[in-house]
């Protein structure tokens, strides 16, 4: 009886090893079903043609609705950024950033809030901006 159990277990083990080896090899030489078809390279029909995080037009009125530290949008050089999640990480007193929520803040960004005597943000700070972008500031009516 014991011999049969050992034999069956051994057979199952080698079956498993063989199946594993076959799939590994087979998958590596078989292209995905849709590879090479032109449709697979094109974006889905419902996807927006252009990144709407940069094209979405935001009026000064809409911008002004996000004037809280927990819901903070600000405009810099024509682009609107939602920095609600960045606020708590910003390396300055919270009010330095929060007073600009809901407002046009290009000069503040360029001077770090010290109009007339401020220094610009670093290239590292500039490079962070795109990840918070939500749209483009539309002219006031």
Binding region for ligand HEM (CB under 6 A): 74, 81, 83, 86, 90-92, 96-97, 100, 105, 108-109, 112-113, 121-122, 124-125, 128-129, 132
Q: CB 114 → ligand HEM: shortest distance, Å? A: 7
Q: CB 127 → ligand HEM: shortest distance, Å? A: 9
Secondary structure (3-state) at 139: coil
Q: Can you point out the beta strands (E) in the chain? A: 57-58, 67-68, 71-76, 79-82, 133-137
Q: What share of the chain is helix, strand, coil (3-state, %, to 5)?
A: 45, 15, 40
Q: CB 136 → ligand HEM: shortest distance, Å? A: 16
Among residues 52 and 95, whose Cβ is nearest to ligand HEM? 95
């Amino acid at each position: 009886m014991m011999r049969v159990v050992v034999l069956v277990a051994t057979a199952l083990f080698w079956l498993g090893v063989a199946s594993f080896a076959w799939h590994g090899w087979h998958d590596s030489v078989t292209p995905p079903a849709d590879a090479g078809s032109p449709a697979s390279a094109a974006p889905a029909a419902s996807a927006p043609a252009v990144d709407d995080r940069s094209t979405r037009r935001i009026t000064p009125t809409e911008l002004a609705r996000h004037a809280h530290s927990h819901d903070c949008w600000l405009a810099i050089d024509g682009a609107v950024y939602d920095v609600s999640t960045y606020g708590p990480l910003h390396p300055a007193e919270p009010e330095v950033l929060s007073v600009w929520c809901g407002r046009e803040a290009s000069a503040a960004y360029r001077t770090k809030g010290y109009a007339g005597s401020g220094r610009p943000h670093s290239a590292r700070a500039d490079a962070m901006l795109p990840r918070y972008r939500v749209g483009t500031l539309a002219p006031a009516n």
